[in-house]
Chain A
Amino acid sequence: MYTTYDIFEEVLDLRNIIDRFFNEVPYQRRRVDYPFVNLYERGDELEVRVMAPGVRPESLNLQLIDDSLIIEGEKKEDYADKPYIRRERAFGNFQKAVKLPFRVNPDSIKAIMRDGILTVKLARSEEAKPRKIEIK
């Protein structure tokens, strides 16, 4: 089977690359405060997954204010007093408010830190659940 070189196909590839550049904007190119956060929703359950490698649970502070989750903490530098060959990792204090899609039950919050990822599990509060209104 022969396939001939088609310059227009290359042009279309280039267009796809450019389209991807503008459509799939990765987090690096957006202005987003540290730490980076993903939200997962399933029914009345909500999961906030925070990427926070090197942050110890004891230097993290979580707070629920209204329908926002406040993540506050410090990634403590672990520098040794030695000559460095490479220094690429970043450290510092951070504070971030994550607006939740609905009000949550404050008693239901569970937070686990595992492998550098903080997972906060929340459940929708009773008041935020849809209610059927009887029509008389």
Chain B
Amino acid sequence: MATDVRKTDKDLYKRDEIAINPPVDIYETDDEYVLKTDIPGVTRESLAIMLKDNELEISGSVDENLRGHENRTYAEYTLHDYLRRFTVGDGVDGAGITAKLENGVLTLVLPKSDRVKPRKIEIKVEA
């Protein structure tokens, strides 16, 4: 039992099991949040976007062919799976999220829920 614990502890350092936090840009418009992230090597099929309990999770796995070391003679990078989580609160309309993956860049559009959208306040002028 005790040795088992120690073993899993050591596995934490195994490089193959590491997931990388990809760099992210997020900006805000009146109606939505737009998120862009660089995830080279991830295909549409291997990408998963989940919104659960006010937490947005982006995870992508990289194909073994791209990650593998076979025949590699020189390396400046190694690809790993990607994982990034954000707390979005209840300000996002989960049903309306759209995603686009282009050239290794994921663009997520998260529409704001009506509750947090800016509202124009009518000013009535009393005569």
Contacts and interface: CB of A to CB of B under 8 A. Distances in A.
Interface of A: 1-3, 9, 13, 16-17, 20, 24, 26-27, 30, 32, 36-42, 47, 49, 51-56, 78-80, 82-90, 101, 113, 115-117
A85 B27 contact: yes
A20 B71 CA distance: 22
A85 B10 contact: no
Contacts of A78: 36, 105
21 contacts: A1-B1, A2-B2, A24-B15, A26-B78, A27-B77, A38-B74, A38-B76, A39-B74, A40-B73, A53-B38, A53-B39, A53-B40, A78-B36, A80-B34, A84-B28, A86-B25, A89-B23, A89-B25, A101-B73, A116-B38, A116-B105
B105 A53 contact: yes
Given A52-B40, A55-B103, A88 B3 contact: no
Given A53-B104, A80-B27, A37 B39 contact: no
A59 to B, nearest CB: 10
Given A1-B1, A117-B41, 9 more contacts: A38-B75, A40-B71, A84-B25, A85-B33, A86-B25, A89-B37, A116-B41, A116-B103, A117-B104
Contacts of B41: 51, 115-117
Contacts of A53: 38-40, 103-105
Contacts of A80: 27, 29, 34
